[in-house]
Amino acid sequence: MERKVTVKWAGKLTFIGEASSGNIVTMDAGKANGGLGLGHSPMELLLMGAGGCASIDVVMILQKGRNEITDCICQVSGIRSPEFPKVFTDIHMHFIITGSKIKDGAVDRAVSLSMDKYCSASAMLAKAAKLTYDWEVVGG
């Protein structure tokens, strides 16, 4: 399935990305790099995309298992190479699942399925970086 986006220059080092769905995002190099500081850096968006992709999987799997989840947070951290092209060398994803009567085994299964089978964004990043993950249950 082909996906298309458009990225348009908005001045200085700020760009507007628009998906075929019509949704937009502002990207910026940051004030320290000559940008206006009006948006996310493209590298931040890579991490957010992976966190969002994996979180969608985790929530769907837990809901299908009739788990009563009230929140899912994915904290994603990345370490970049100090040399150009400054790719991510290490990425860690920490999932925090909140709800009642949630079994650790259900969360472990959901996170493992997402990270090892379903999350295409994480799978793509894992081809270039060491990808690790863990999780915790709050209120279970």
CA distances for 118 relative to 23, 60, 61, 97, 122, angstroms: 24, 11, 11, 18, 9
User: How confident is the model over 2-51, as pLDDT tens digits?
Assistant: 989 999 999 999 999 999 999 999 999 988 888 888 999 999 999 999 99
User: How confident is the model over 81-139, as pLDDT tens digits?
Assistant: 999 999 999 999 999 999 998 999 999 999 999 999 999 999 999 999 999 999 999 98
pLDDT score, position 140 = 56
Measured torsion, CA atoms of residues 6, 10, 11, 14, in degrees rounded to the nearest 10: -70
Q: Do 40 and 49 contact (CB within 8 A), yes or no?
A: no
